[in-house]
């Protein structure tokens, strides 16, 4: 399943960050997104999908700033 998340991550983000592609980084970030999704499901999906997307966006924005 992680490979599916990684492939989707590549499809969406590769067009935005063409010059910044690194296969290890791609797997690392896909794993994080996968685990957050799993946590959301285990926690009975308390947040709406939009709230979860907002949290992921904030996490990714903070990562890029450093």
State the pLDDT at residue 64: 52
Give whole-number Cα distances, 63 to 38, 50, 53, 60, in Å: 21, 20, 15, 5
| Rounded distance between C-alpha atoms, residue 47 and residue 40, angstroms | 8
Tell me the average pLDDT across 35-53.
92
What are the boundaries of each domain within the chain? 2-65
47 or 57: whose pLDDT is higher?
A: 47
State the pLDDT at residue 2: 62
HSE of 15, CA atoms in CB hemisphere, 13 A: 4
């Amino acid at each position: 399943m992680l490979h599916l998340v990684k492939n989707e991550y590549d499809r969406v983000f590769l067009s935005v960050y063409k010059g910044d592609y690194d296969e290890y980084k791609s797997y690392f970030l896909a794993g994080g997104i996968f685990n957050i999704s799993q946590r959301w499901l285990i926690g009975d999906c308390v947040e709406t999908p939009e709230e979860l997307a907002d949290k992921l966006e904030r996490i990714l924005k903070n990562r890029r700033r450093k």
